[in-house]
Structure 1
Amino acid sequence: MSVIRNSILAGVAVAAIGAGIYFVPGLLNGQSGPKVTGPPPPPQMRRMTESQYRNSVADIFSPEIKVVGRFEPDIRVDGLAAVGASEASISGNGYEQYYAMAGRIAEQVVSDENWAKYMPCDVPAPATYDAACAEQIISEYGEKIFRRDMKDVTLAEWLQISELAMEKLGNFHAATGLVLEGMLSSPEFLFIMDTVTEGEDGSLELTGHAKAARISYFLWNTAPDEELLRAASAGELDTKDGLEAQVDRMLNSEHVRTGMNAFFEDFLHLDAFATLEKDKLIYPAFNQRVSEDGREQVLRFLDYHLLDKAGPYTDIFTAKETFVTRPLGMIYEVPVRAVEGWEKVEFTEDDPRGGLLSHIAFSALHAHPGRSSATLRGIAVRELLLCQSVAPAPAAVNFTVVQDTSNPEFKTARARLTQHRTDDACASCHEFIDPIGLAMENFDGVGRLRYEENGAVIDVSGAFDGYEFDNVDGLEETLADHPATTSCLVEKMQKYATGRKPQASDIQWINRLEKKFSRSDEKIIPLLREIALSDEFFAVSAPQVPVPDVNQQEAATQTREKKS
């Protein structure tokens, strides 16, 4: 393995320079890199993603409560929607949708058939107002919805809203529904906000409830549960033992699967399945059910290898076991006995299928509607799995040769791309990405296995950062041993957990996470634990207010005076 690793390190430098791509010194080869320090980031405010909203409603009330409506689209920053959430806002139309959803949720919760199920108290008759019952409801749900202590002033405000609603509606259940509607449409619910307090030394610290929210949305992708909120109120999250107890409890829960799936959906851009389309004439077996199952398949695959088997992260590239449904069986050309449900299949060692790159979540997602794409797949490996940037194609590039799959002179993708690379403007980047994608040409545009294209045998050999391989199995083995593969995962996990781009103060933390990830045999749960227990995960500082330049102000004043 060390020979492969050293070969990769030597080759990646040459390939990267040739393609105009650069890396942070030290991060690629596992060295500590530059020791840069700086102030922690300021407190954050992140808009909830659709999955976080749905999970929060299910856990605050019940999975039986239906959430119906359109969500503001997530935006990606630094390749992650979790980072984009820190920069996302809500439009006027978007808020109308959130407000309507809040109303529909509240109606279900306070309905006559559900009231006793969800409410801690009731009144003798609907026309009766009970301030004590209203306070109990607001206190319990307020802490869950707002993810913070219901201070006296906040509680008093919502009690006043409850009383006013009762005056207008004359029905305690309806008035309570209006209060819940207001809470669920409040920015304090729609945005995960850092609340801070001043420490003994005058520095800012996250409150216990803000810590609880960070932990819960990172590990479980949902609102804090009652036990975590209790620990936050009791100050236990401010102690090492208390924090460890809660993190370990959460990591031992089945809910961690939901959290890990949310990370990998973001990491692998699985949201693209929502808009994935294929040419029905070329690929009649590909339909919406296949698309939905393809997304679920890769999550089950990751769960099995990284959680159930507790294997190292790099196993996902070389594993031969996966899960299929009958519709997926049509694509993978394997028999599936059950009409509904999932079956585990194990491909033979000489079969190119099995690893992540052979799943349609990769091969079909990174292809064109009517054909495969070595370039898109190569870019996906470089950018998604190795955290390397690939420059966009130059303007006015002629793709005619690449797109003409029926050209009798260039029958395979390799032949077409070789001809395309005769353009000097395209050569450097394509040499950096195409050999990776060409190794996956045994999979067509929907991920079906093939060995020929237009009657010509497909050549899937190549070289990847200095290491040669014969097929996609060799590529995946190289990828599993590539030093950037694990460092990329750690970097993406750190950005996902914090919801922001890494700062100068994060470099040493990321280096430490990489070393500990390596020492833990590259297993996911220890990495989640290390991040959730890190001081850096909770560190905040006061926003830096720019100091005005007096000279510039005076110059601007003089200019305005001259103009006047």
Structure 2
Amino acid sequence: MRLPFFRPIICLALLMVLVATPAIADSSSNKSASLFDADVARILANRCLQCHDSASAKGGVDLSRRAAAIESGALVPGKPADSQVWESVVNGEMPKGSDPIPKHEADAIKRWIDDGAAYTVDWIDPVVYGRGSDSSRRWVRRLTRAEYVATVKATLGVDLTDEAKELLPPDLRADGFSNTAYNLGVDMQHIDGYAKLAEIAVERTDISKFARRFEKKRLMIDKVMRPLIGKMGRVLLRGPLDEWEVDQYRGLTTTVASAGGNFDDAVAITIEAMLQSPRFLYRMERQHEKDGRAKLNDYEVASRLSYFIWGGPPDEQLLDAAEKGNLSNRKSIETEVRRMLKDPRATEQTRQFISEWINLSRLGNLQPDRDHYPDWNDELASDMRTETLRFAEEVLWADDRPLSDLFDAQFTYLTPTLAKHYGIKPTGEGLRRYDLEDVPSRGGLFTQGSVLTIGGDEASMVARGLFVLHDVLRGAVKDPPPCVDTTPVPTEPGRSNRSIAEARIKNEACGGCHKRFEPLAFGLEQFDGLGRHASRDRHGNTLREDGTVLFPGDAKATPFESTAELSQLLSESDRVRETLTWKFIQFALGRMPTGTEAPLVRDVHQRAWQSGGTYQDLVVALATSDLILTAQSETEE
């Protein structure tokens, strides 16, 4: 259906809305604890812990834990002048090699020590507290391209997958995910694309059938059109419309009538306008609060639940639950969530989470050196992606196992092509399950090509180690200084990837950082850049699989003798399990949790893993937490 003779020009104010949020104002009498939460933990994480945590402890000083800091003399509660920390700061000695700490931060440290140098956590986690400014702001979330497609399909039954890929720019990754709110901007390509997609969606919709869902009468009078607009808007815009909104859309329908259009024309132009409304394109929330966290209304909760569980809009049953006020009750919410988890869209959203976490889209861009990898083709890349997603689906849904079992489950799914690539004898055509109990080199995510290709052609221990550090252990390390040459050192006879890494670790200038992450890749040395296993590299150098894991917060690294033992260590580590919780929460919220939300994250983690640690347990724990049911207050970080 084309309506050029009366289609209005719908001007969209598609601008990202951000609200800076100042440090939390704590009414507690413990001023030192309040200062720690508001400022000092962040200052120490960003300025000090790179050299003065449990692992490095330069000069015998560990500032990540209060007891250790006091024992070393770095902190003398109530006495800044006797504290090494304050002495180093006031003399401009720390951070070494960096600009002096700004006066307002130095003043905060002095007041904090004066008031008792309290810590409100056992250990300062740099990833939680060492954040940039973007994490301390609130952003209105635009629908990602995938969410836009899912929303149109769910509400109108029209699949715009191909058209959206053509007309809308891709959503770019930030902080490890492509749905990070602050990165979901809107430009003229979006505005033009949304207009064209709305027109296409309307043309493919059976307008009469859609209208009959809400109203049987086909009259252009207020008594019919206003309720119809309200009912359509409730579905398309994911909540009830205000009277002024109904007025705006009713104005469009009267314009259609005056131009000679009929009932279907009026409904079509209303749908087209709604599809370009900020309420459709953004996940709007009307938050009204003064202190603490803002409570969301039931419709806002419904949208939060549906987009993180399904990747799409609420269905009629969820909207009805919101209308009845049932989504203000945690028990009722859990009932709805368990219903939603039975929907195939929940399984698909799991696949989306795994794909985002490991960045499986990267596989489509691999172009390995043909001289070294002549057999590489796009089919292998696709098979690696399929292997990981099918494997995850089996672990998390068919077997209903804990998320951490992803690291050491002894099976996988392979095509004949990928099986041959791995050196495994194919057992038949198509995608098949392969048990790996008798294949010691394989088992779990870390032995799959989708992960191993992160190292590139040279199976870089830097790239692989950083992946493990950031995305599995949730550790932190600073970027190298601009003057450092980061060109990869090539392997050669007598010099393997491991020996190159060990040389970097021994280097005084590099070792402080590289010892934190390169050993994490030692257990993967026997896998080349495309995930094939061998005991020697192409130069004849012997490859090993033993190494160590330094878990964030630990003073000493834990040794392992094999890739299988590394996988088991990761599977059994609570730090790794916490990472899975944090990563999923980040995926669900579209942003990293803030330092003030750390207790809420811990509560979700504990409840989920006490229940069994399955994907479903984590969804239920998050869905019934204040991270979903409330919003950041403007008085929070």
TM-score (norm 1): 0.81
1:86-110 CA-partner distances (Å, limit 9, x unpaired): 453201222212222222222211x
Q: Which residue of 2 aligns with 1:181?
A: 272
1:329-378 CA-partner distances (Å, limit 9, x unpaired): 34323344665x421111134521121111122111x122x321111111
Q: Which residue of 1 aligns with 2:251?
A: 160
Q: Which residue of 1 aligns with 2:193?
A: 97
Aligned equivalents of 2:399 and 2:62: distance in 1?
36
1:375-399 CA-partner distances (Å, limit 9, x unpaired): 1111100000111112223334345
Aligned equivalents of 1:430 and 1:34: distance in 2?
22
Q: Which residue of 2 aligns with 1:462?
A: 547
1:392 pairs with one of 454, 479, 493? 479
Q: Which residue of 1 aligns with 2:202?
A: 106
Q: Which residue of 1 aligns with 2:353?
A: 263
Aligned equivalents of 2:379 and 2:228: distance in 1?
42
1:79 aligns with 2:176: yes
**Would you say the 8 A contact 2:154–2:313 is kept in 1?**
yes
Task: Say how many residue pairs are matched.
Answer: 512
**Would you say the 8 A contact 2:211–2:267 is kept in 1?**
no
Q: What letter matches 2:522 in structure 1?
A: L
Aligned equivalents of 2:159 and 2:515: distance in 1?
52
**Would you say the 8 A contact 1:394–1:425 is kept in 2?**
no
Going from structure 1 to structure 2, the CA distance change for 1:496 and 1:202 (only over 3 Å counts) comes to closer
1:223 aligns with 2:313: yes
Q: Which residue of 1 aligns with 2:455?
A: 367
Helix, strand or coil: the match of 1:273? Answer: helix
Q: Which residue of 2 aligns with 1:450?
A: 534
- Identical-pair percentage: 24
Going from structure 1 to structure 2, the CA distance change for 1:66 and 1:506 (only over 3 Å counts) comes to closer
Aligned equivalents of 1:434 and 1:500: distance in 2?
28
Aligned equivalents of 1:467 and 1:202: distance in 2?
41
Please state how far the C-alpha of 1:532 moved relative to its aligned partner: 0.4
2:149 pairs with one of 54, 61, 66? 54
Aligned equivalents of 1:193 and 1:301: distance in 2?
36
Aligned equivalents of 1:123 and 1:226: distance in 2?
16
RMSD over aligned CA atoms reads 3.6
Q: Which residue of 1 aligns with 2:127?
A: none
Matches within 5 A, 1:493-504: 493-504=584-595
Aligned equivalents of 2:598 and 2:532: distance in 1?
42
Aligned equivalents of 2:580 and 2:636: distance in 1?
34
Aligned equivalents of 2:421 and 2:282: distance in 1?
41
Q: What letter matches 1:185 in structure 2?
A: Q
Aligned equivalents of 1:399 and 1:542: distance in 2?
42
Q: Which residue of 2 aligns with 1:45?
A: 140
Please state how far the C-alpha of 1:533 moved relative to its aligned partner: 0.8
Aligned equivalents of 2:202 and 2:323: distance in 1?
26
Matches within 5 A, 1:113-132: 114-115=206-207, 118-120=210-212
Helix, strand or coil: the match of 2:403? Answer: coil
Q: What letter matches 2:455 in structure 1?
A: A
Q: What letter matches 2:489 in structure 1?
A: Q
Q: Which residue of 2 aligns with 1:296?
A: 386
Aligned equivalents of 1:21 and 1:380: distance in 2?
28
Q: Which residue of 1 aligns with 2:101?
A: none
Name whichever of 461-470 and 264-273 sits farther off: 264-273
Going from structure 1 to structure 2, the CA distance change for 1:278 and 1:202 (only over 3 Å counts) comes to closer
Helix, strand or coil: the match of 1:256? Answer: helix
Q: What letter matches 1:80 in structure 2?
A: F
User: Which ranges of structure 2 fall in alignment gaps of 5 or more residues?
Assistant: 1-51, 67-119, 125-135, 551-556
Helix, strand or coil: the match of 1:345? Answer: strand
Please state how far the C-alpha of 1:295 moved relative to its aligned partner: 2.3
Aligned equivalents of 1:494 and 1:21: distance in 2?
33
1:429-477 CA-partner distances (Å, limit 9, x unpaired): 2222222212112211111222211222212211222222222111111
Please state how far the C-alpha of 1:301 moved relative to its aligned partner: 1.2
Aligned equivalents of 1:117 and 1:349: distance in 2?
58
1:432 aligns with 2:521: no
Helix, strand or coil: the match of 1:506? Answer: helix
Q: What letter matches 1:413 in structure 2?
A: N
1:154-211 CA-partner distances (Å, limit 9, x unpaired): 2232122123234447354444333222211222111111134689x99953221111
**Would you say the 8 A contact 1:121–1:133 is kept in 2?**
no
Please state how far the C-alpha of 1:51 moved relative to its aligned partner: 1.9
Q: What letter matches 1:359 in structure 2?
A: Q
1:11-37 CA-partner distances (Å, limit 9, x unpaired): x9654557x9999769xxxx97489xx
**Would you say the 8 A contact 2:207–2:267 is kept in 1?**
no
1:188-238 CA-partner distances (Å, limit 9, x unpaired): 111111134689x99953221111001111111111111001111121112
**Would you say the 8 A contact 2:337–2:620 is kept in 1?**
yes
Going from structure 1 to structure 2, the CA distance change for 1:94 and 1:315 (only over 3 Å counts) comes to same
1:315 aligns with 2:405: yes
Aligned equivalents of 2:192 and 2:61: distance in 1?
44
Aligned equivalents of 2:623 and 2:418: distance in 1?
37
Q: Which residue of 1 aligns with 2:494?
A: 409
Going from structure 1 to structure 2, the CA distance change for 1:409 and 1:149 (only over 3 Å counts) comes to same
Q: Which residue of 1 aligns with 2:106?
A: none
